[in-house]
């Protein structure tokens, strides 16, 4: 079932903004959301109460102190997650392994192999003929990533395509296991028909994952 990327309601919108940006002040959030600082502060008080958001003081000394707000780990996990489908797909691939698939692979190599096959399976409904335009492949990629809950933002500058993933549906698994990040990389590569370069990822401490691909007609 496709996952909608539309965030409705002020507090979910604040969570989505902080997930992408990492941290923001009240005034920055107010400008981004389009509400007064007083209203944003009230929403942040509720999010703090619910343990979804925390804050750091960034300015000391004379005058009014300033704070930046960021998601707690619980706040990150409050977003869309799809561990069930990931586990079901992984178990399906494991059950289909042959002795040849297992040959000369350690645990890490086997995990990478399985996740690559999962991404290949996931890409099939979105594949285009090799002669298709880059616009149609980009549109299909946006749909593929959106359907899996990655909340993609795709920017095209000539032949350069930047794919920013503002949500990771497998976040708790991807943070300790870099091989999980191969799912989105391989899915992007399969749909676009070119290997993307990963420029940043949440596994490396960034707030979002960013891939770049060179795509010609």
What is the architecture, at CATH level 2, of domain 83-214?
A: 2-Layer Sandwich (3.30)
* Distance between CA atoms of residues 193 and 215, nearest Å: 9
* Distance between CA atoms of residues 161 and 197, nearest Å: 10
Which residues contact residue 200 at a Cβ distance below 8 angstroms, ignoring those fewer than 6 apart? 206, 208, 209, 210
Helix (H, G, I), strand (E, B) or coil at 102: helix
* Distance between CA atoms of residues 157 and 30, nearest Å: 30
pLDDT of amino acid 128: 79
pLDDT of amino acid 61: 62
pLDDT of amino acid 4: 40
Helix (H, G, I), strand (E, B) or coil at 113: helix
- Tens-digit pLDDT string for the chain (217 aa): 444 444 458 999 999 999 999 999 999 999 999 999 999 999 999 999 999 999 998 866 666 778 999 999 999 998 899 999 999 999 999 999 999 999 889 999 999 999 999 999 999 999 977 768 889 999 999 999 999 999 999 999 888 999 999 999 999 999 999 999 999 999 999 999 999 999 999 999 999 999 999 987 6
The CA dihedral of 94, 95, 97, 102, to the nearest 10 degrees, is: 50
What is the architecture, at CATH level 2, of domain 10-77?
A: Orthogonal Bundle (1.10)
- Kindly report, as residue ranges, where domains of CATH 1.10.10.10 are found in the chain: 10-77
pLDDT one-digit tens code per residue, 136-151: 999 999 999 999 999 9
Strand partners, 57: 67
- Kindly report, as residue ranges, where domains of CATH 3.30.1380 are found in the chain: 83-214
pLDDT one-digit tens code per residue, 201-212: 999 999 999 999
Which residues contact residue 64 at a Cβ distance below 8 angstroms, ignoring those fewer than 6 apart? none
The position carrying tokens 């870099």 is 178
The predicted model scores a pTM of 0.85
The position carrying tokens 């500058």 is 157
pLDDT of amino acid 5: 42
pLDDT of amino acid 2: 45
pLDDT of amino acid 127: 92
Helical H segments across the chain, by residue range: 10-21, 26-33, 37-49, 73-77, 83-95, 99-102, 107-123, 134-147, 171-174, 182-192
Q: For the chain, give the number of residues.
A: 217
pLDDT of amino acid 28: 95
pLDDT of amino acid 185: 96
């Amino acid at each position: 079932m496709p996952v909608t990327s539309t965030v409705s309601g002020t507090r979910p919108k604040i969570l989505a903004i902080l997930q992408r940006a990492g941290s923001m002040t009240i005034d920055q959030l107010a400008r981004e959301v389009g509400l007064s600082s007083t209203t944003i502060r009230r929403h942040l008080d509720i999010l703090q109460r619910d343990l979804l958001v925390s804050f750091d003081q960034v300015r000391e000394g004379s005058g009014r102190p300033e704070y930046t707000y960021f998601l707690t780990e619980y706040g990150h996990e409050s977003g869309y997650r799809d561990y069930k489908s990931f586990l079901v797909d992984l178990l399906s691939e494991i059950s289909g392994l042959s002795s040849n698939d297992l040959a000369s692979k350690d645990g890490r190599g086997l995990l990478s192999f399985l996740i690559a096959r999962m991404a290949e399976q996931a890409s099939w409904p979105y594949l285009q003929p090799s002669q298709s335009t880059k616009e149609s492949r980009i549109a299909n990629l946006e749909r593929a990533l959106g359907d899996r809950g990655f909340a993609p933002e795709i920017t095209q500058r000539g032949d350069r395509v930047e794919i920013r993933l503002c949500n990771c549906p497998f976040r708790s698994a991807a943070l300790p296991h870099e091989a999980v990040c191969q799912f989105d990389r391989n899915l992007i590569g399969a749909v676009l028909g070119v290997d993307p370069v990963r420029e940043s990822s949440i596994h490396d401490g960034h707030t979002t994952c960013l891939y770049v691909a060179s795509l010609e007609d």
